[in-house]
Amino acid sequence: MIKIIMHGCGGKMGQVVAEIVANDDACQIVAGIDPRVPEASFPVFPTPADCNVAADVIIDFSTAIAVPALLEFSKTKNIPVVVCTTALNDETTALLQETSNSVAVLKSANMSIGVNLLLDLVQKAAQVLYDANFDIELVEKHHNQKIDAPSGTAMALANAINDAMDQQFHYVYDRSQTNEKRDRKEIGIHAVRGGNIVGDHDVIFAGRDEVIELSHRATSREVFAVGAVKAAKYLAFKGPGLYSMKDVLA
């Protein structure tokens, strides 16, 4: 039985993860960490420093500002951690990399299995279509409560394409300030916010007289929770290192 600490257990994603784990005989949540200290079927602590429960792995769905303290806790207690929180700044990203030298850390911009497959598909498409004079645009849509824009997933898709194409591209987020035609070596990235859209991502390859779109639609938060639990099972008992969902799927 894999013992999990849920960081951010009071949030929407934390609650969905708890529901998934409750129906999984292979793992259980033994503690939660959340400053709101919600009622739960497991003990909940306001900060990582207050948590004294032993565990095999941590799942994090919190806020960017809360991640540094969690990484310190993970390192001190030698507990692998799955970091699902996005919009991390450069300092926290560097800390995450440093922490992975001492303990297993898994970081992904999106925990959905489908999105992680899409990352591979867009790379293959770009390698074929760019040389055939296709332009590349990304459109992401999320609910009206999402703070960061563009989404971490949109940036991961753009970066995946750029990695496959030897960093040829630059990113354009807003064309309203310039009056000039599109550059061949740009990827346009556009964010839409409205309603309760869970998460839509479209990668558009637009050529002469034809358009190819690779899309992913999340219709519930459960797809991210399922991926996070799958990642936690993979990461528990792993040695130090920086892992990704690509490792999980492999």
pLDDT in tens, 137-180: 999 999 999 988 999 899 999 999 999 999 999 999 988 888 89
Q: Is residue 146 annotated as part of the catalytic site, yes or no? A: yes
Question: How buried is 41 (Cβ within 10 angstroms: 0-12 exposed, 13-18 middle, 19+ buried)?
Answer: exposed
Among 3, 77, 146, 238, the one annotated catalytic:
146
Predicted pLDDT of residue 223: 95
- Determine the average pLDDT of the residues in 201-213: 98
87 has pLDDT over 90:
no
Contact between 66 and 43 under an 8 Å Cβ cutoff? The reply is no
- Which of the four pLDDT bands, split at 50, 70 and 90, describes residue 91? very high
**Cis omega (within 30 of 0) for bond into 46:** no
Tell me the two tokens of residue 206: 């637009």
Q: What is the mean pLDDT of the chain?
A: 96
Predicted pLDDT of residue 47: 98
Quick: pLDDT tens for 58-79.
Answer: 999 999 999 999 999 999 999 9
What CA–CA distances, in Å, run from 173 to 17, 187, 189, 210?
A: 33, 9, 5, 24
Contact between 228 and 84 under an 8 Å Cβ cutoff? The reply is yes
Write down the H helix ranges in the chain: 12-22, 67-77, 90-99, 113-129, 152-164, 222-235, 245-249
- Determine the average pLDDT of the residues in 39-49: 96
For each of the domains in the chain, give its residue range(s) and CATH number, in order of start. Answer: 2-111+222-249 (3.40.50.720), 113-218 (3.30.360.10)
Rounded CA gap, 139 and 215, in Å?
Answer: 10
Predicted pLDDT of residue 77: 98
Among 141, 142, 201, 216, the one annotated catalytic:
142
pTM, two decimal places? 0.86
Cα R_g (the chain), whole angstroms:
19
